[in-house]
Amino acid sequence: MKRLVGGRATGILVHTDQPINFLGMINKDTGVIQDASHDLYKRSLRDTILAFPHGIGSSVGAYTIHSLKINNVAPSAMLCGRPDLTVVTGCAVANIPLAILDVSEMKLQNNSKITVDVDAGTITRD
């Protein structure tokens, strides 16, 4: 795990193998995935540990990440295989812990309650 935005968070692991477009895919008021073609469709990201391969789409997605935090519907932390500038900027501005992690290496099941300590480089199952 490589730290990009430090911090510690606990939440339910929500993993997807599909990239996420923060601008068009997520309702910034509710934190719910609103793209019917995404495997997390209708899933709330509030208080989750979001694990995904990479972000896609407009750099305005960083504003959406910040809006999710302001609206109290953001993930508690993000784990990303190949974070792009939009994801890194959004997490930094919103103070959401972010680490580079190949989620295929994680030995945890989706929907497990975990704690991520990005500063210490640890993930523990609660």
Question: Does 104 qualify as catalytic in the annotation?
Answer: no
The catalytic position among 37, 44, 58, 59 is 58
37 vs 10: CA distance, rounded Å:
28
Cβ partners under 8 Å of residue 106, min gap 6: 15, 51, 79, 123
Find out whether 18 and 52 touch, Cβ atoms under 8 Å: yes
Q: Which residue has the tokens 């895919």?
A: 25
Which residues have a catalytic role annotated?
58
